[in-house]
Amino acid sequence: MIDTTPAHLPPVQSLAILGATGSIGRSTLDVVARHPERYRVFALTAWRSADDMFELCRRFAPRYAALADPQAAHRLAERTAAAGLATEVLAGPDALVDLAGHDEVDTVMAAIVGAAGLAPALAAARGGKRILLANKESLVMAGDVFLRACRDGGATVLPIDSEHNAVFQCLPAQGEPAGTRCAAGVRRIVLTASGGPFREASRQDMKHVTPEQACAHPNWSMGRKISVDSATMMNKGLELIEACYLFDVPGSQLEVLVHPQSIVHSLVEYVDGSVLAQMGNPDMRTPIAQALAWPQRIASGVSWLDLAAVGRLEFQAPDLQRFPCLVLARDALERGGGAPCVLNAANEIAVAAFLERRIGFTDIAAVATETLQALGDRPAGADIDEVLEIDREARARARTFVSASE
Ligand code: NAD
Ligand code: MG
């Protein structure tokens, strides 16, 4: 599936950026703007931020801009018309799906947050695109369905999540398609975790933290949902599941190591005792540039790593009592079937309720636990409709648990 010859890359890659107004979307555009000779912005999509999208249209002049929210798309169309921009504005979730699979697109940056990213990512898979996958929720919800679509469509998946991108760089055969068992000789994959803003907080202290505190990540600047996931360490749990699919390894070959400096982005241990790690400053433009240019390398704008200035790199085992979401993710992995999809849906509902101040921080894990206990025996969805049905059922159940905790 992955052709490792540089000649495989078209001279100018035509890009669709899904989630263009978000943290990953903007970092992608920052890298792209440094290499106008290599990349052409064909389509930008987002949810409802018409003003932000208008600014991006002015700057990058995409052929298409699509907003999932029809009213916001209408506002955007008025503004682009008034400004005389050539960009054509499309509206509604189906427009995102159409653009992700568009014939004139070579590469899709899948950077929508949450379950909303699944349908467009699947369209990119079916369309045989080079997929830069940031939306880990696609794999957690529908790993088998998504990877099958990639195989059938001839798509290439390149991981953007910094840990998985690091693992990808440390694995021996980078030409292997996503979902192929890691090459023989790999003993273990270790995903690093910063530990988030509450790395040293007691469970009691965590009960009272605010959304602002939870979103203030010590090392990374990210969207609100993934910031809360990092604070609960559910993000690392979702990443364990993501890694199982991407690298076709069982959970027993995966470990999590807390590394507060976020310099070592992950490690691969080999049977001879060698451990390869990928390092760099914590800035998503590095994995984005790596995936955009792979198998070549391009400048990303990230500052050089000064290890003497960093001084110390620390590592510690995660505390499973204080961060029960890691245990939950392992539980979902062991249950298999529809359990990871149930966990993801419950987490999205719980995080949204926390950000709206309807439930406390520690209730997020409680809602996810209750939902997983109630629905964790669902078999895996065989296609996207079945996956979305499990997702809907889990969301509905999680909402009842949220209401009970309010
Ligand atoms: P963000 O909240 O900053 O941006 C999300 C983007 O998705 C926005 O452009 C928004 O308009 C769009 N969006 C949201 N809901 C939508 C909907 N219903 N329909 C269509 N578009 C919608 O999020 P982010 O931090 O950039 O994260 C994006 C994805 O990348 C997530 O899956 C996250 O887990 C993953 N990721 C992010 C980082 C990071 O550093 N930010 C690192 C690793 C992985
Ligand atoms: Mg990550």
pLDDT in tens, 40-59: 999 999 999 999 999 999 99
Identify the pLDDT of residue 10: 78
Q: Which atom of ligand 1 is nearest to the CA of 46?
A: 11
> What band does 180 get if pLDDT is binned at 50, 70 and 90?
low
pLDDT over 50 at 124, yes or no: yes
Measured in Å, residue 163 CA sits from the centre of ligand 1 at 17
Amino acid making up residue 220: W
Closest C-alpha to ligand 1, atom 20: 47
Strand partners, 157: 131
Report CA torsion sign: 386, 250, 118, 393: positive
| Ligand nearest the Cα atom of residue 164 | 2
pLDDT over 80 at 398, yes or no: yes
Q: Which atom of ligand 1 is nearest to the CA of 162?
A: 43
Measured in Å, residue 114 CA sits from the centre of ligand 1 at 7
Cis peptide bond N-terminal to 36, omega within 30: no
Measured in Å, residue 20 CA sits from the centre of ligand 1 at 8
pLDDT over 90 at 1, yes or no: no
Identify the pLDDT of residue 221: 87
pLDDT in tens, 202-213: 999 999 999 999
CA distance 242 to 340: 10
Measured in Å, residue 270 CA sits from the centre of ligand 2 at 22
CA distance 213 to 359: 15
pLDDT over 70 at 32, yes or no: yes
Amino acid making up residue 17: I
Mean pLDDT across the chain: 95
pLDDT over 50 at 7, yes or no: no
